[in-house]
Amino acid sequence: MDDRLQGKVCLITGAAQGIGAAYARRMAASGADIGIVDLTRIDQAATVVADIEAMGRRAVAIKADVTKADEMDAVAAEVIGKLGGIDCLVNNAALMFDQLTASWDDFLAVNFMGVVNASNAVVPHMWERHRGSIVNISSTAAFPLPLNDPSPIPEDAPAPRVDPSGYGLTKWMLIHHTRQMARSLGGRNIRVNAVCPGVTMSPATKAVVPGMIVDALANAAALRSTLEPEDMTGIVLFLASDDSSKMTGQTIINDAGTVFAG
């Protein structure tokens, strides 16, 4: 049995379903008690909580909006009160399911400021205890992918607009912010790392990413594969655990070998 998180408490945002729920189950199976935050999908957290309790661990699910700093402060206080502390924060909530209708302001508020708000809510507690691990879930979308549209460009085709990708750019901002946070907090033994999943077959991906894009991404991967939510959980568990006790400010890409960065 993996007991690397025995006695620890992990708070995971956006964990009512999808990849966040896979983190919750895996971290509980490794001994942690779990705080779950979600907003519109909070009702789906009931099955995650039941699974965690069936493992003999404690879980609390809280409806809150990561874009609201005061709500995240209240979440941190509730989890600390009910579960005894917070050892690890996984900043997983993002506009993935909801990305097709999101504006740049929405992406900035959820994907980036949501991470800032949740982190600011737990950092004073970790600072006081001289320990903690924060894992920011970025994406390989942070790196423009090596995929071109194979169709020929007609001579009279209008120039494309070059507006920023709200999803990809906010995920890139998280990599910068992870390094900034690691510098600010390392003096108190608070570690901050980022993880970039590649295309992962969560319910959100199945709902919003066209099959031909999924196939193209799988073909571009060295391992000729997409990921399942469970494929992401080992890295987050590692970053939450003392196995990574000397690791901070880093970005780990787990994408079946599509983006090679270093």
Ligand X SMILES: NC(=O)c1ccc[n+]([C@@H]2O[C@H](COP(=O)([O-])OP(=O)(O)OC[C@H]3O[C@@H](n4cnc5c(N)ncnc54)[C@H](O)[C@@H]3O)[C@@H](O)[C@H]2O)c1
Part in contact with ligand X (CB under 6 A); list of ranges 80-88, 178-186, 196-204, 238-246: 196-204
* Cα–Cα distance, 132 to 143 (Å, whole number): 28
Among 3, 6, 7, 40, binds ligand X (CB under 6 A): 40
DSSP output for 170-190: HHHHHHHHHHHHHHHHGGGTE
Rounded to a whole number of angstroms, the minimum distance from the CB of residue 201 to ligand X is: 7
**88 is a site residue for ligand X (CB under 6 A):** no
Beta-carbon contacts of residue 206 (< 8 Å; ≥ 6 apart): none
**217 is a site residue for ligand X (CB under 6 A):** no
**24 is a site residue for ligand X (CB under 6 A):** no
Tokens of 192: 């901050």
Dihedral angle at the C-alpha atoms of 247, 188, 109, 204, nearest 10 degrees? 40
Residue number, 19 or 126, with CB nearest to ligand X = 19
* Cα–Cα distance, 121 to 24 (Å, whole number): 20
Sheet containing 88-91, strands listed edge to edge, beginning at the edge strand earlier in sequence? 59-63, 33-38, 9-13, 88-91, 132-137, 190-197, 251-254
**89 is a site residue for ligand X (CB under 6 A):** no
Residue number, 77 or 245, with CB nearest to ligand X = 77
Among 28, 83, 96, 175, binds ligand X (CB under 6 A): 96
Is 23 among the residues known to form the active site? no
Residue number, 82 or 106, with CB nearest to ligand X = 106
φ, ψ (nearest 5 deg) of residue 250: -100, 160
Near ligand X in 42-71, by CB under 6 A: 65-67
Residue number, 23 or 190, with CB nearest to ligand X = 23
Question: Which of 136, 167, 196, 205 does the annotation list as catalytic?
Answer: 167
**137 is a site residue for ligand X (CB under 6 A):** yes
Give 15's DSSP letter: -
Dihedral angle at the C-alpha atoms of 244, 247, 109, 254, nearest 10 degrees? -70
Residue number, 14 or 132, with CB nearest to ligand X = 14
Q: Show which residues are catalytic.
A: 167
Binding residues for ligand X (CB under 6 A): 13-14, 16-20, 37-41, 65-67, 92-94, 96-97, 110, 114, 137, 139, 197, 199-200, 202-205
